[in-house]
Amino acid sequence: MKNVLQVATGSLTVSQVHEKLYGASEEIDPIFIESVKTHGILTPLIITPDNVVVSGVLRLRVAQQLKIPTVPAVHLDTPLEDYQVAMLNQGRQKLPSMLYKEYLLLKPWFEVGKGKRTDKTGEKPKLDLEETLGVPKSRVRRLHTINNYANELYGSTESSDYKKVWENLDKGTWDITKAEKILKKEKTKKDFKAKIEMGGKVELPGVTIHRSSSKDLKEIENETIQTIICSPPYFGKLRDYEIGKDQLGWEKSHYEFIKRLAEHFDDCKRVLKKRGSLFVNLGDFVVNREYKMVPAHFAIEMAKKGWRINDRLVWAKNNPTPADGKRTLCVTEEIFHFVLTSHFDFDLDWINDQAIQREEIRKGELFWGVGTPNARPRSFFDFRGDNVIRSNASSTSWLSMECKRRKIPFTHSATFPEIIPEIFIRSTSKENDKILDVFSGTSTVGAVASVLGREYIGYELNSDYIAQAQVRLDCPEQTKTHLLKAA
């Protein structure tokens, strides 16, 4: 080893390569500072002929902090290449951002030069990636993928969003898997170019979906809708439908939400036929350690506005949202059947017609009195075990996979089983009637209405959901597999 010299601390500077790789303000372990206070700097710094520190930067910074006048150092005879500076710092504990910077700096030495034939010459990289960086190649590749995603999403390495990605990784807020998942999802959404602008619409045979608020149904003529079926957003910010901070369900109080939601159906009175029906699916959840009884209050508010509450049904699910605290697990949501008059259209002959064709309908527990003139659906839709459709809950796995195949982001999973809108559509409408969903989502109602020979109109603000709806509507055979029996 060369002679160790005592060099004035103030005469030393830090290598630019080191600053680029590890930053100018690395966090220093307090235990290390106390050690230097007690024992001094025992391991010499490595410096170039012009007093640039290439190894031992943390020791230098502690010496500067403690105002130590001189530090031990070993002079190199010649300056070092950038990769050699990085190699001298391989023993340090590196954050993901530091590791990736090292990779970029040393990348030329991990690869064979362009145009060189490795098959004949046996040409090899100058440096082995795993041996040099001390991590598996797969980890480096994933960091490279994360960097590419961040670059494509945020456009510049100087943008705050780009820097935030690496901050989350360095702080441990995200691990590599989580970072990849989040950024890939965001990139997929960015790559998907929605064709439907706000105020526009999608038109398919027998189907129209408007990308606009359904509070104003100006596109629909008076008394032209036979049946409205919908599942509004939940109260309490339980889900983000990605349509802004003013979305339904994000109100400060449940009273405000109930009032606003009931008002949302005011224009439905105009477009609904006098003998038509409105079905609203609504769940209740614990907010601030208590139930707010949102469905009950909503039904009462609707009654005040002139709607008649004809029926109350219960949907039992096998995938409920857990509620914290000293209470049971709520496995149900409520569905209210509203009408404008007691003389509304309602026909249940279809139950016995279907029962003739399918034994499971005759033996199932979803319907009561099958085979008699009084056959009718039960008010309790239990999807937690074997029943007439032998399905435990709504299934969107096929839709998710098909959207992925078509490179369309799939983000909506809060859907109800097809049989729920099917029973309502069959019971309150006939073929060629118009069905409306004012919170269309991925158009479960639309897909069922279309298969059953009805026209469909939907309203949805989120363009991604409309794209997913188009996929669903493009696959009627999938919808048919979840029905009692396709008409």
Q: Where are the alpha helices (DSSP H) in 127-250?
A: 129-133, 137-154, 160-171, 176-191
Identify the pLDDT of residue 407: 62
393: confidence class by pLDDT, cuts 50, 70, 90: very low
Identify the pLDDT of residue 255: 92
Identify the pLDDT of residue 120: 54
Q: Which region holds residue 172: left if phi is over 0, alpha if psi is between -120 and 50, else beta?
A: left
Amino acid at residue number 46: I
Same fold, 5-93 and 201-481: no
State the number of CA atoms in the 13 A half-sphere of 198 facing the CB: 4
Identify which of 339, 480, 465, 371 has the alpha carbon closest to the alpha carbon of residue 409.
465
Instruction: Reply yes or no on domain 201-481 having CATH 3.40.50.720.
Output: no
84: confidence class by pLDDT, cuts 50, 70, 90: low
Query: 59-86 burial, b for 16+ CB within 10 Å, e for fewer?
Result: bbbbbeeeebeebbbbbbeeebebbebb
Global confidence as pTM: 0.61
The CA dihedral of 305, 233, 378, 469, to the nearest 10 degrees, is 120
Q: Where are the alpha helices (DSSP H) in 223-348?
A: 254-264, 266-271, 294-304
Tell me the C-alpha distance between 232 and 432, whole Å: 25
For the stretch 414-466, pLDDT in tens is 567 888 999 999 999 999 999 999 999 889 999 999 999 999 999 998 888 89
For the stretch 16-50, pLDDT in tens is 877 776 666 666 767 778 878 888 887 788 888 88
Identify the pLDDT of residue 348: 94
Least confident of 103-112, 118-127, 191-200, 390-399: 390-399
The span from the first CA to the last CA of the chain, in angstroms, equals: 89
Ranges of each domain in the chain: 5-93, 97-191, 201-481
Identify the pLDDT of residue 82: 64
The CATH number of 5-93 is which of 3.40.50.300, 3.90.1530.10, 3.30.420.40, 3.30.950.10? 3.90.1530.10
Q: Cα–chain-centroid distance for residue 478?
A: 24
Mean pLDDT score, 148-174: 88
Tell me the C-alpha distance between 213 and 216, whole Å: 7
Longest C-alpha distance within the chain, in Å?
106
Which carries the bigger pLDDT value, residue 175 or residue 392? 175
Contact 269, 302 (CB under 8 A): no
Least confident of 57-66, 150-159, 275-284, 401-410: 401-410
